[in-house]
Amino acid sequence: MLTIYHNPRCSKSRQTLQLLEEKNAEINVIEYLKTPLNESEIQGLMAKLGVSAIGMMRTKETEFKEQHLKDADEQTLIAAMANTPKLIERPIVVNQNKAVIGRPPENVLAIL
């Protein structure tokens, strides 16, 4: 079973979900803006993605600038994502111990 951290308002997220559906994948859809991740879940995703906190953040969001996160440490960035889920890059697809960011959507094919 795959898990997609999904924002239905995002075209890349919708395209990624459609691609997974076309592959007949069994998918658990989590709308992370409605069901925010806690810091522990964010750290787990970072480990599966193999990235630092900044690597899974939307750094061009207004909230990133407003919260002065450019030079923040890892823990501050993780807390910011937990408190402001909009800062999490989307979509993220997880298959067991691996995860990818679906930008472009075809990235998810690597973990199917």
Burial 11-32 (b: 16+ CB within 10 A, else e): ebbebbbebbeeeebebeebeb
Query: What are the C-alpha distances in Å from 77 to residues 43, 71, 90, 96?
Result: 11, 9, 16, 25
Distance CA 90, CA 45 (A): 12
Kindly report the number of other CB atoms within 10 A of residue 84's CB atom: 18
Catalytic pick from 10, 25, 54, 111? 10
Residue 93 designated active-site: no
Instruction: Please provide the size of the chain in residues.
Output: 112
Residues annotated as part of the active site: 10
